[in-house]
């Protein structure tokens, strides 16, 4: 994702028993830096994606404040929130730890 400005980074996810995202823990870009982590529900995450925000998965680098190891970009595809390719019939954020 070199050259793409990321508006938010998802660090961890919690799924409901039905396979949909219940909550995500994310950092949001605030100018040149990122916010502290906070929790966002599925509905709010969908609103952010629909408004054109670029959201990616990733992990904050230790002792580096606003530096992240960015994983995949998050998309809304067929009513599901996913990273990567393929249809699974449920939300799927690859390589994102559960909390």
In this prediction, residues 51-70 reach a mean pLDDT of 92
For residues 90 and 81, give the distance between their C-alpha atoms in angstroms, rounded to a whole number.
8
Q: Residue 56 belongs to what domain range?
A: 8-82
Number of domains in the chain: 1
Residue 2 resides in a domain: no
Contacts 24+ apart (CB under 8 A), 17-26: 18/90, 19/89, 19/90, 19/91, 20/90, 20/91, 21/45, 21/81, 21/91, 21/93, 24/93, 25/99, 26/55
Residue 35 resides in a domain: yes
Q: What pairing do the DSSP bridges indicate for beta strands 68-73 and 55-60?
A: antiparallel
Residue 64 resides in a domain: yes
Residue 55 resides in a domain: yes
pTM metric for this prediction: 0.90
Residue 89 resides in a domain: no
Residue 74 resides in a domain: yes
For residues 23 and 12, give the distance between their C-alpha atoms in angstroms, rounded to a whole number.
9
Residue 92 resides in a domain: no
pLDDT at residue 65, rounded to an integer: 80
Residue 22 resides in a domain: yes
For residues 12 and 14, give the distance between their C-alpha atoms in angstroms, rounded to a whole number.
7
pLDDT at residue 3, rounded to an integer: 65
pLDDT at residue 64, rounded to an integer: 87
For residues 27 and 12, give the distance between their C-alpha atoms in angstroms, rounded to a whole number.
10
């Amino acid at each position: 994702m070199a050259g793409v400005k990321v508006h938010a980074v998802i660090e961890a996810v919690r799924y409901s028993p039905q396979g949909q995202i219940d909550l995500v823990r994310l950092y949001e870009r605030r100018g040149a830096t990122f916010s502290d982590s906070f929790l966002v529900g599925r509905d709010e995450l969908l609103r952010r994606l629909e408004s054109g925000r670029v959201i990616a998965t990733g992990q904050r680098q230790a002792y580096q404040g606003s530096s992240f190891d960015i994983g995949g970009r998050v998309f809304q595809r067929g009513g599901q929130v996913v990273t990567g390719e393929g249809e699974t019939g449920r939300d799927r954020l690859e390589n994102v730890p559960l909390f």
